[in-house]
A = this chain, B = another copy of it.
Amino acid sequence: MARFAAVPEAHASLASARQVYAPGTHLFHQGDIERGIHKIVSGTVTVYRVTADGHRQIEAFSGPGEYVSLCLCATSPTSAEALSRVETDYVSREAFERCLLQDAQFRQTVFREIDKASADARRQATLLACRCAKERVADFVLFLDSRFAPKADGYTPIRMSRCDIADHLGLTIETVSRMLNQFKQIGVIDMPRADRFRLRNRQYLNRLAGQNDEADSRPHGLAL
């Protein structure tokens, strides 16, 4: 968990500063103006928005290597909260825009990242539009399995609360809990505690989630 600083930056013209956030603290808030860009070095960040009627929608659980809510509009459409201790490389808005103009390689990276964010959002929309509760939770379990390395005990940690999961999948905490425990019941996952699990039947979940979608997205060597 502990990380050491070091490693300046790939892009010479991009002056970034390492920042550290304690669990539960915010990297930025919805509506912040001229906010800069965070790239996660370690830890997990919850990216969410709150709608006018008070619903919280979690758009993503972002991890190391990912940009947090990367978009062109300077005013943040989302809030970002550290789920664990989080380190980021932070670039001010000004430096970000300057670099976007000057550094072709950086521009390309950002371009692709935004494209990826767009694809992710569409994938999420499809999940919400076409899949039932069990399928959504199956998809989420597979996401956790692929993104979070198992700990020493062999179990993958579930760092977010049931409420976080529910707000991400468009369900209630009760439904999320029921589906997870149903998977546990039938032996698809091994979940000795609410905050960790291990896959026992990946194929079953794959079949539910329909892992086949979005098989394309070849990045192709566009130099920009």
- Which residues of A come within 8 Å of B, CB atoms? 31, 49, 51-53, 55, 57, 59, 71-77, 97, 100-101, 107, 111-112, 114-115, 117-119, 121-122, 124-126, 128-130, 169-170, 210, 212-214, 216-220, 222-224
Contact status A52-B210, CB under 8 Å = yes
Contact status A129-B71, CB under 8 Å = no
Residue of B nearest to A55 (CB): B130
23 example contacts (A-B, Cβ-Cβ < 8 A) are as follows A49-B213, A53-B130, A55-B129, A57-B129, A71-B118, A72-B111, A72-B115, A73-B217, A73-B218, A77-B119, A77-B122, A77-B214, A100-B222, A101-B223, A114-B118, A118-B118, A121-B122, A121-B124, A121-B125, A124-B125, A125-B125, A125-B128, A129-B169
A224 / chain B contacts, CB cutoff of 8 Å: 100-101, 107
If A77-B122, A107-B224, A121-B122 touch, whether A72 touches B112 (CB-CB below 8 Å) is yes
Residue of B nearest to A210 (CB): B52
Residue of B nearest to A126 (CB): B57
Contact partner, A53, options B72, B117, B210, Cβ 8 Å: B210
Counted per complex, copies of this chain come to: 2
Contact status A216-B100, CB under 8 Å = no
| Distance of A119 Cα from B69 Cα, bound (Å) | 11
Contact status B218-A75, CB under 8 Å = yes
A51 / chain B contacts, CB cutoff of 8 Å: 126, 130, 210, 213
Q: How far is the CB of A75 from chain B (nearest CB, A)?
A: 4
Residue of B nearest to A76 (CB): B216
Specify which of A31, A122, A124 lies most central, judged by the most chain B CB atoms within 10 Å of its CB: A122
A212 / chain B contacts, CB cutoff of 8 Å: 52
